[in-house]
Structure 1
């Protein structure tokens, strides 16, 4: 789908959405050549789930350096990896780049890619206001790079998405409680807090997220019910490999809750060493 604007008798392409089309790197090179034309006024380019790889990023970086009208770029659900992000970095650092919204969810980006993005935004911090990185796995150092960037007064980022909505809500709640971003913690102790269904659902969503690296979770005297225990164990089944210690003492788990915990322990990927 494309959107056009009538100006001085000419149709000018403002939005190009080629998402879900298997373009590959060759087609992207052809498209980016068009976008570098001085007559091109495109401000939104959507290439979500187009089978792109790191090779496409070199051409896209050239567009960022040459096309100052481009404001939004969606590259979600492509296998760009860190090497692709480092190529995009060259375009993002250019002073001619005025991109405001960049979406890179589910692009196979890890710690090195996050560092490259943070470096680019420190070099050229004045335009980007929205950055979506959900579904990537940066490790704690990658999260810290961008968390530190937000403290820079020159940084214009208003929306920085690492997490799903529920996990983000959990992150905000836990940051207020712990006075530190839980994505940077190895241990989380919420003992003697009445969490309720909503908070447990949010914490479960956070436990499932690749950004969460907790090894110890302490939920003693939190009035956790068998229903809430099932929610937590479902999350641990989806992301079982990091948690080493789990404390659920003095809650109302009942037999059903304990049975679900036993299912987690049977998983060959489960690394729990201590269960209270």
Structure 2
């Protein structure tokens, strides 16, 4: 060790005792290569009788130096918090696991009971995770409350090793009656992808104790997001969820929205740069309306959200007294959309909480089916390379009754013959002849994908005519179907309405589902439905917001649209 380094170390030793059992060498930039280079440091550790916190971050530690420090740690049974981030700058990849194993051994021999382990900003990869594997499985981590592994390059393999270690730690801690209750998990920028995220999701679900989860920039798409969503449902105390800069798309966002609906303590949601898109944003709006009572921050920036969907989100914030910040920057609002959003927020006395809109992308292109490489329909085969490896994302799609569903339409054999005949070739005569069998028209509804059910609704509406018997039959059937679709949770209702609007080309969707022709009959059926008791005021508000922001798509039925607009405006003004 150079003389200057020794002098610097000696000069700082008097400042390392910070009280409350903390010894800190943070940010000294020391190059600790061998036992000689850490003699003074080791002596300090050995002489600190009640050492509880050891900060080594911001130095660079070699194998021999780590062994010497580990030896000193063998007597430190009071040690609880290890802040060892940015500790291996300039070291060979092969050195790091060896150094970590030595440090881990010292902690385990001491019988330490860790509450915080921070190894962030150490690019140790999967092998580095192997270096702490035994520590994480040991009794030293039964008491762990915070695990911080941000920017470590763990990859899929490291994520799997970490997940299994946490599961084993939990199993062993249960045996001795002190179950692992990890509260904070940080693992951003680790290239975990779907397989790593799904493996960790199993650990999260098993522990059920998380309060903060930070996993930004991990290359996770809808399959991994869906697995994480299922796990979050089991962590009732979750307060912060940060999945920034992953790729949700519609399916991931809908699954996450459903999970959020079960959580009452969420304060911060960061889904920025996650391709939430319009249908996802509306799903989140449903959860905002029905739950999330203590939410403080919502980030859905850079998500390809258009003006109409952003306004729906803003309107649901009215009853959120704890809200402090809403970030919708970098979306596709356009200049007029940005101004409309500001007006909505200001009308609720929440204008000061709206983050800057300076990076808005401008209005979205008219073509909403462009192939951008992220459409759900194009992601079906992603699981082979990024996927769950045995984890079926559909297992996490939960229906209203709590069971799982795969979203597939029922086979025609599940319908009575007459119903199948109608669905194959709908006509007013066939609808009338169905009689009581019309109740079988609606397939079992997956809360996260009511596409097939909405298609049936559109088939019925297409048969509207002014002939009295046909008109009455169509309206009665339309009411029956729509009532069922809107009678569940707000999430099911909002998903139904957004799916309907996407199918008729009014709302920007994703994927390559064929658009249904917009008919005056549908608008007339909706005008009738809006006036019924099952059509809630907030349903009318959603519909009015989106339709009024895209009258261009309705120009072919402008006459029928006038009546629907009038009915919606009247319903929106009704007392809730």
Shorter-normalised TM-score: what interval?
0.5 to 0.7
Residue 121 (1) aligns with residue 229 (2): no
The alpha-carbon deviation at position 132 of structure 1 amounts to 0.7
Task: Give the C-alpha shift of residue 101 in structure 1.
Answer: 1.4
Residue 106 to residue 221, structure 1, CA distance change in 2 (3 Å): closer
Q: Distance in 1 between matches of 2:188 and 2:202?
A: 19
Distance 1:81 1:163 in 2: 17
1:12 to 75, 80, 87: 80
TM-score, normalization by structure 2: 0.31
Structure with bigger helix share is 2
In 2 relative to 1, CA 156–74 (structure 1 residues): closer, same or farther, beyond 3 Å? same
Find the aligned partners of 2:77 and 2:134 in 1 and give their Cα distance. 25
Do residues 157 (structure 1) and 274 (structure 2) align? Answer: no
How far the C-alpha of 1:93 sits from its partner, in A, is 1.9
Residues 26-41 of structure 1 mapped to structure 2, 5 A cutoff: 26-40=127-141, 41=143
Which of 366, 371, 376 is matched with 1:245 structurally? 366
Greater share of strand residues, 1 or 2? 1
| Structure 1: 5+ residue stretches without partners | 192-201, 208-213, 224-230, 247-273
Match in the other structure for 1:49 = 151
Give the TM-score normalised by structure 1: 0.60
- Give how far 1:232 is off: 7.7
Q: Structure 2 vs 1, CA of residues 87 and 150 (structure 1 numbering), >3 Å: closer, same or farther? A: same
Q: 1:113 and 1:119, CA in 2 relative to 1: closer, same or farther beyond 3 A?
A: same
Contact in 2 for aligned 1:52/1:80 (Cα 8 Å):
yes
C-alpha distance in structure 1 between counterparts of 2:205 and 2:164, whole Å: 11
User: Alignment length, in residue pairs?
Assistant: 209
Q: Please say if residues 132 and 160 of structure 1, whose CA atoms lie closer than 8 Å, have aligned partners that are also in contact.
A: yes
- Kept after mapping to 1: 8 A contact 2:330/2:358: no
Deviation string for 1:223-242 (max 9, x for gaps)?
9xxxxxxx989643xxx9x9
CA drift at 1:105: 0.7
Q: CA offset at residue 39 of structure 1? A: 2.9
Q: CA RMSD in A?
A: 4.4
Find the aligned partners of 1:105 and 1:129 in 2 and give their Cα distance.
16
- Deviation, 1:128, is 3.0
Which of residues 177, 189, 212 in structure 2 aligns to 1:101?
212
Q: Provide the C-alpha distance between the structure 1 equivalents of 2:260 and 2:338, rounded to a whole number of angstroms.
A: 35
> Whole-Å Cα distance in 2 between the matches of residues 69 and 150 of structure 1?
21
Q: Work out whether residues 140 and 184 of structure 1, in 8 Å CA contact, stay in contact via their aligned partners in 2.
A: no
SS in 1 for 2:116: strand
